[in-house]
């Protein structure tokens, strides 16, 4: 029988569980942030008529489409990004949708370009978009920046830089240069966009190669470039640019928009250190009309932009006949994932299960299945080993291989006593427990695979600054334990103060005796206080005395 060689198309890949687990976790986190800002989910087909998808992306993008004839000889293409489909949806269901229409969409897109697996460039990759359609307000633009910052925080990034600009500045520049061919201006913008890659000289070279740009014009563009990189703070930079653009009306408008977006983003709580007004930001897509933004990670700059977008007030009009304002931003999660991995910010995990229940032999099978059911009822992800005859050694090796942290072992001996053994793979520690105690013990030994997703409560976190850092800023109760899990200190915190309360609860001498901590979110301060008093009275922790 001839064997079919298993292989993949260049630029495409399989997502094995090891990759898929952190990936789906990240997608969930991102969706949660989007919903927190009031965006609703939307999905659209991967394939559409080519003329729709290629609507206004520009000649550069058109080359990169997967485009073909379907069996009904229709001219179709795989979607290149998600925004065009949104514009189509808004036009098609115009009267059914509220304005502003805020939607998020996560799904694969395809680009037939040169892939670079190492740096997170693929021919099939996912985008996570949020867009606001139907609002001229610059609050919408600023909200995109706020969402950007919130996403970065949610996935654990601390070194992101959100750089933004306004395309109207280029209109102003065009006016100042006296250029009336849009194609030439587009070429100039593309040259400016390359600044970060090729530097000032590189841009100068690019400009020199353009026909219709004389020496004087070149100097003007370079002067603009210098102001774009002016170091002295965002406000000062906008001031300089505004001064430079002088009487060019759209340039002035661009500057005032830039100023307003900056102010509103600050008021939405985006720290100044993550914001950079940078007039060399252009963005390749042709449909942008106002604000444009790009986000890079200082930990992994070579990955390029991990999140970007802008305002595109003309796109919906292409399908609707009348223009509707829109602004949006898109997370490139494959790139983000690759960047996080290279900056070792990614929590890897190979297994969904927290517990593996071993099966000793046929006679013990029923007991094993019952244990698993108990665990699952308590919400613990549990896997039963499915080969009944297999040696314990093999079953443990399986748990090891999948990095499942806990194993339940119950042979005739344990069953006779109504017990089971819970083995902690990391330490080799083994506990004898009544079957009824098993879920509780598993839950309290359970190591959260990804502390970033921790919500509500956790147990047994290592008492270290980087773990305390992960505690959300809510209120509630916390317990500090020594290596034998004896509670050494019980404390509570007012709403918003939990992380700090844990951090300053102990002096350095006492802190050395604490190995792990638990915390529970409680939304009423009075309740936290009462529970804490109760716990202290009951357990009498050493350091509370």
Partner RNA sequence: CGGCUAGUAGCUCAGUUGGUUAGAGCGCCUGACUGUGACUCAGGAGGUCGCGGGUUCGAGUCCCGUCUAGCCGCCCA
Shortest spacing between CB 307 and RNA, in angstroms? 6
Closer CB to RNA, 191 or 506, in the complex: 191
With 0-12 / 13-18 / 19 or more C-beta atoms within 10 angstroms meaning exposed / middle / buried, residue 204 is middle
Rounded least distance, CB 540 to RNA, Å: 34
Shortest Å distance, C-beta 385 to RNA: 12
In the complex with RNA, which residue's Cβ is closer, 260 or 437? 437
- State which residue, 24 or 363, has the beta carbon closest to RNA: 363
| 64 within 8 A of 58, measured Cβ to Cβ | no
Q: Taking the complex as a whole, how short is the minimal distance between the CB of residue 482 and RNA, in angstroms?
A: 22
CB of 497 to RNA, least distance (A): 37
Residue at token pair 């001498």? 509
- The DSSP line for 135-197 is ---HHHHHHHHHHHHHHHHHTT---EEEEEEETHHHHHHHHHHT---HHHHHHHHHHHHTHHH
Cβ-based nearer residue to RNA, 115 or 541: 115
Is the N-terminal amide bond of 193 cis, ω within 30° of 0?
Answer: no
Nearer to RNA, 121 or 237 (CB): 121
Phi, psi of 532 (to 5 degrees): -65, -45
Q: Are 309 and 329 in contact (CB under 8 A)?
A: yes
Report, in Å, the least distance between residue 180 CB and RNA: 22
φ, ψ of residue 415 to 5 degrees: the values are -60, -40
Which of 114, 236 has the CB closer to RNA? Answer: 114
Nearer to RNA, 132 or 468 (CB): 132
Give me the torsion for CA of 224, 230, 233, 238, rounded to 10°: -10
Q: Please, what is the minimum distance in Å from the beta carbon of residue 171 to RNA?
A: 18
Best CA proximity match to 196, nearest among 334, 330, 291, 302: 302
Who contacts 33 (Cβ-Cβ below 8 Å, separation ≥6)?
Answer: 147, 150, 151, 154
Task: Give least dist CB 488 to RNA, A.
Answer: 27
State the nearest-atom distance from the C-beta of 122 to RNA, in Å: 5
Shortest distance in whole angstroms from residue 10 CB to RNA: 3
Three-state DSSP state, 394: helix
The encoded tokens of residue 139 equal 């609050």
Cross-strand bridge partners of residue 276: 163
- For residue 57, the SS3 value is coil
Angle (nearest 5°) at CA 476 between 470 and 482:
65
Q: How far is CA 9 from the centre of its chain?
A: 27
Please count the other Cβ atoms lying within 10 Å of the Cβ belonging to residue 421.
Answer: 17
Nearest to RNA of 19, 64 (CB atom): 64
CB nearer RNA, residue 271 or residue 428: 428
Check if the beta carbon of residue 103 is closer than 8 Å to that of residue 329. no
The first and second tokens of residue 278, run together, are 């940078």
- Nearer to RNA among residue 122 and residue 385 (C-beta): 122
Residue 405 burial by CB count (10 A; 0-12/13-18/19+): exposed, middle or buried?
A: buried
d(CA 508, CA 207): 61
Task: Give 119 or 266: the residue with its C-beta nearer to RNA.
Answer: 119
Nearer to RNA, 194 or 494 (CB): 194
Return the DSSP state at 4: P
Q: How far is the CB of 285 from RNA (least distance, A)?
A: 5
CA distance 307 to 294: 6
Residue 300 φ then ψ, to 5°? -145, 65
Please check whether residue 123 is in contact with residue 107, taking contact to mean a CB–CB distance below 8 angstroms: no
Distance CA 347, CA 21 (A): 9
Nearer to RNA, 442 or 493 (CB): 442
Provide the minimum distance between the beta carbon of 134 and RNA in the complex, in angstroms, as a whole number: 22
- Smallest gap from Cβ 247 to RNA, in A, equals 30
Residue numbers at the binding site for RNA (CB under 7 A): 9-10, 60-61, 64, 81, 111, 113-123, 125, 127, 190, 193-194, 197-198, 283-285, 294, 304-308, 330, 332, 334-335, 360, 391-394, 396-397, 399-401, 409-414, 421, 423, 425-428, 430
Nearest alpha carbon to residue 281 among 173, 170, 401:
170
């Amino acid at each position: 029988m001839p064997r079919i060689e298993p292989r993949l198309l260049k630029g495409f890949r399989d997502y094995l569980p090891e990759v898929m687990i952190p990936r789906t976790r990240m997608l969930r986190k991102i969706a949660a942030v989007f919903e927190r800002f009031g965006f609703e989910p939307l999905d659209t087909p991967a394939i559409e008529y080519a003329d729709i998808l290629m609507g206004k992306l520009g000649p550069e993008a058109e080359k990169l489409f997967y485009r073909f004839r379907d069996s009904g000889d229709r001219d179709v293409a795989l979607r290149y990004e998600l925004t065009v489909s949104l514009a189509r949806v808004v036009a098609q269901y115009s009267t059914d949708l509220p304005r502003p229409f805020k939607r998020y969409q996560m799904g694969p897109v395809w680009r037939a370009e040169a892939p670079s697996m190492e740096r997170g460039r693929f021919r099939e990759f996912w985008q996570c978009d949020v867009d606001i359609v139907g609002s001229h307000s610059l609050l919408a633009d600023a909200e995109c920046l706020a969402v950007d910052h919130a996403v970065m925080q949610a996935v654990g990034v601390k070194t992101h830089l959100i750089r933004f600009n306004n395309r109207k500045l280029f209109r102003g520049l065009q006016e100042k240069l006296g250029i009336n061919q849009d194609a030439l201006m587009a070429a100039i913008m593309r040259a400016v966009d390359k600044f970060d890659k090729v530097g000032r000289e590189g841009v100068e070279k690019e400009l020199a190669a353009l026909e219709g740009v004389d020496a004087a014009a070149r100097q003007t563009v370079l002067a603009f470039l210098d102001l774009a990189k002016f170091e002295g703070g965002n406000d000062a930079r906008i001031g300089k640019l505004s001064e430079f653009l002088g009487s060019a009306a759209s340039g002035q408008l661009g500057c005032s928009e830039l100023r307003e977006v900056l102010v509103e983003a600050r008021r939405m709580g985006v720290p100044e250190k993550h914001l950079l007004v940078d007039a060399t930001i252009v963005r390749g897509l042709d449909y942008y009309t106002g604000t444009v933004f790009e986000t890079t990670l200082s930990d992994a700059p070579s990955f390029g932009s991990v999140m970007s977008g802008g305002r595109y007030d003309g796109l919906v009009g292409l399908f609707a006949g009348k223009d509707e304002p829109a602004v949006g931003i898109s997370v490139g999660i494959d790139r983000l994932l690759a960047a996080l991995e290279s900056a070792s910010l990614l929590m890897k995990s190979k297994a969904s299960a927290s517990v593996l229940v071993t099966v000793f032999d046929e006679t013990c099978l029923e007991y094993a299945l019952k244990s698993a059911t108990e665990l699952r009822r308590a919400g613990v992800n549990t896997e039963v080993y499915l080969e009944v005859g297999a040696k314990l050694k093999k079953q443990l090796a399986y748990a090891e291989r999948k990095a499942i942290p806990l194993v339940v072992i119950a042979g005739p001996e344990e069953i006779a006593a109504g017990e089971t053994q819970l083995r902690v793979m990391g330490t080799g520690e083994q506990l004898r427990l009544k079957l009824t105690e098993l879920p509780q013990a598993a839950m309290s030994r359970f190591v959260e695979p990804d502390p970033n997703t921790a919500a509500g409560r956790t147990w047994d976190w290592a008492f270290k600054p980087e773990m305390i850092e992960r505690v959300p800023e809510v209120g509630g109760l916390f317990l500090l334990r020594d290596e034998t899990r004896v509670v050494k200190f019980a404390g509570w915190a007012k709403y918003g103060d939990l992380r700090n309360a844990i951090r300053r609860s102990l002096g350095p001498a006492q802190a050395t005796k604490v190995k792990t901590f638990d915390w529970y979110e409680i939304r009423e301060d009075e309740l936290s206080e009462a529970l804490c008093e109760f716990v202290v009275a009951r357990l009498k922790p050493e350091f509370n005395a």
